[in-house]
Amino acid sequence: MKKVYLVGAGPGDPGLITVKALELIKKADVIIYDRLVSKDLLKHAKEGAELIYVGKREGRHSFTQEEINKLLLEKAEEGRIVVRLKGGDPFVLGRGGEEAMVLVKAGIDYEVVPGVTSAIAAPAAAGIPLTDRRYASSFAVVTGQEEPGKKERLDYGAIGTDTIVLLMGVSNLGRIVEDLMRTRSRDTPVAIIERGTTEDQRVITSTLGEVVEKAREMGVRPPAVIVVGDVVRLREILGK
Ligand SMILES: C[S@@+](CC[C@H](N)C(=O)[O-])C[C@H]1O[C@@H](n2cnc3c(N)ncnc32)[C@H](O)[C@@H]1O
């Protein structure tokens, strides 16, 4: 039966892949993978497997979402075992739902294999629990980059959870912080976790009032998870 597996590769540390995902990587005929997938995981692919990189490429044509969708359909039509390997969890800010929709509409079976999302794993690796009964009962995972041309702009200041976790927030940090400071104190703690769970992880802590300047000074670059809220203080004790 024609089938595509939408598989979460985890947040960066190859050890954080699920058993099911690793088994699929080993038996796949075709693996279509993104930029944030650890290259160590691809070493498990079987000999002769076709590995197709569809992430961003500096100075060269990068695949559009439409081209990725087309590729998924083409490879599935060939009747081979197709693994679409995505960073973190496929259904968390990763267009996994869109890809599943394309398959469903084309009458091709799909299975999603959830992964460990960077939204939770990167803060954890930095010693920041997203909830703690003393400081935070709730968290929201929010994109820092909305679809261009979207009519209603996300109002970050209106998010009511105790902790906010921003993905893809580096380039719009100034605007996001401005929104947040309408409803949260400028002393609210903020952490930026770059390349979380990997050997190159870097953590920067600050406050809403100062984080934009500090991120600029420190040359913060994606991929980074940004955590806003009192739980960030726990890093002083739990951070390694
Ligand atoms: C397109 S989203 C995909 C998120 C993914 N589906 C997940 O569940 O982790 C990409 C963003 O995830 C975050 N991200 C992914 N891996 C990361 C890592 N190892 N460290 C920090 N942020 C990461 C960054 O905010 C990055 O810009």
The answer to whether the CB of 89 is under 6 A from ligand 1 is yes
Query: Is the Cα torsion angle 93, 94, 99, 104 positive or negative in sign?
Result: negative
pLDDT tens for 109-165 read 999 999 999 999 999 999 999 999 999 999 999 999 988 888 888 999 999 999 999
Query: Over the chain, what is the mean pLDDT?
Result: 96
The answer to whether the CB of 96 is under 6 A from ligand 1 is no
CATH superfamily of 3-113: Tetrapyrrole methylase, N-terminal domain (3.40.1010.10)
CA of 31 to the centre of ligand 1 (A): 20
Separation CA 9–CA 86 (nearest Å): 6
CA of 168 to the centre of ligand 1 (A): 7
- Residues annotated catalytic, as ranges: 34, 56, 168
The answer to whether the CB of 92 is under 6 A from ligand 1 is yes
Q: Where are the domains of the chain?
A: 3-113, 118-238
Q: According to the CATH classification, is domain 118-238 in 3.30.950.10?
A: yes
> What confidence score (pLDDT) does residue 220 get?
98
The residue that leads in pLDDT, 91 or 1, is 91
Separation CA 129–CA 234 (nearest Å): 8
Ligand 1 atom nearest 193 alpha carbon: 21
> What confidence score (pLDDT) does residue 151 get?
81
Whose C-alpha lies nearest to ligand 1, atom 21? 224
